[in-house]
Amino acid sequence: MITVIGAGKVGSAAAFDILRYKISDVVLIDTNEKAAQGEALDMMQAAPAIEFDGKIRGTSDFKEMAGSELVIVTAGLGRRPDMTRFDLMNTNAQIVKTIVKQVVKYAPHCKLMIVTNPVDIMTFISYKETGFPRTRLFGMGNILDSMRFRTYIANELGVSREDTRGLVIGEHGDSMVPLFEYASVSGIPATSLLTEEQMDKIYHATVTSGADVIQLKGSTVYAPGMVIAIMADAILTGRNRVMSVSTCLCGEYGTSEVSIGVPVVLGKKGVEKIIELELSNKTKERFDKSVAVVKEAIAALKD
């Protein structure tokens, strides 16, 4: 069973994608019980069309998460067009702290995925608050950035997005680091297909992509919902997918006491392995700057 905490746009989209791909039964928890129940009822009415016979229920009772293999936290203040992710930090920190205490109480053996922004900081707070091993606690961020990165590479080259591969590491925010040296199209290095001007264009588009959507429609919904479902599938089915997720580092990449996006093997136990990539000097400099940005934000958190 999977529990999604937060029945807003992203939480509900993720819950429906989890059902649509027949990954698991879902409990949808929100302080607004009617909203959670309404979303669950709406999804259940779509179940015949998606040929799903599992269960979806909405509630405000945290006890309902008991026995969950995976708990996904999407609750929190949404980002407005005039806000950075860090503007959300102190308000959402209090919300997340309250929620993860309930997770520890009712689902102490679960894998815990944080989605609430700024996700790297919320993941680190949750790690400290819960005492969970870092294998079982991680944040969604760079997988979404990587999807956007792949999209812009494919668009620029006029090729299939399916054949395009790429990774983004670092903060899920303005200091993220798209890795051109590890991007490819059907195994062909992207650096041999793209000009420097094209790479600069793709880099900028990837970094601003989330803000671009928020500026146009107020929030990102479909892409994060789908990414959450992909991560949930990797965990519940033990597929050992290689993905860039926000992970609490303990010496990897030369840093500690921070949660930030790096490639991992995501499987049945959660973060099965952290993959340490060899980075070029320029990329390492960008990654170190991204780490510094997140650490500075963590240090600025109000108690």
Residue 33 has pLDDT above 70, yes or no: yes
Neighbouring-strand partners of residue 5: 29, 73
Beta-strand ranges (E) seen in 225-275 are 241-250, 256-267, 270-274
**Same domain for 146 and 295:** yes
The pLDDT value given to residue 303: 61
Tokens linked to 119: 């996700």
Domain end point (choices 139, 154, 180) = 139
Judge whether 204 counts as a catalytic residue. no
Residues 24, 116, single domain; the answer is yes
pLDDT digits (tens, 9 = 90+) for 123-134: 999 999 999 999
Look at residues 139, 166, 181 and tell me which one is the last residue of a structural domain: 139
pLDDT exceeds cutoff 90 at 51: no
The enclosing domain of 77 has a CATH number of 3.40.50.720
Give yes or no: residues 113 and 232 share one domain: no
| Residues 216, 135 share a domain | no
CA distance 105 to 101: 6
53 with 115, same domain: the answer is: yes
Range of the domain at 293: 142-299
For residue 8, CA distances in Å to 102, 126, 225, 265, 284 come to 19, 20, 11, 29, 37
State pLDDT tens for residues 70-124: 999 999 887 666 666 567 888 899 999 999 999 999 999 999 999 999 999 999 9
Contact 260, 127 (CB under 8 A): no
Neighbours of 265 (CB within 10 A): 17
Of the candidates 197, 199, 169, the one whose C-alpha atom is nearest the C-alpha of residue 278 is: 169
Band (296; pLDDT cuts 50, 70, 90): very high
Position 241 confidence tier, pLDDT thresholds 50, 70, 90: very high
- Domain count of the fold of the chain: 2
CA distance 193 to 64: 51
- What pLDDT is stored for residue 79 in this prediction? 65
The answer to whether residues 18 and 161 belong to one domain is: no
Please state the rounded mean pLDDT for residues 263-273. Answer: 97
On average, the pLDDT of the chain sits at: 93
**At which of 91, 106, 139 does a domain end?**
139
Q: Are residues 157 and 288 in the same domain?
A: yes
207 and 78 within one domain = no
Q: Is 66 in the same domain as 184?
A: no
20, 136, 172, 241: the active-site residue: 172
The answer to whether residues 207 and 273 belong to one domain is yes
CA distance 165 to 223: 17
Q: Is the pTM of this model over 0.85?
A: yes
Same domain, 82 and 206: no
CATH number for position 257: 3.90.110.10
188 and 164 belong to one structural domain? yes
Over range 218-228, report the average pLDDT: 90
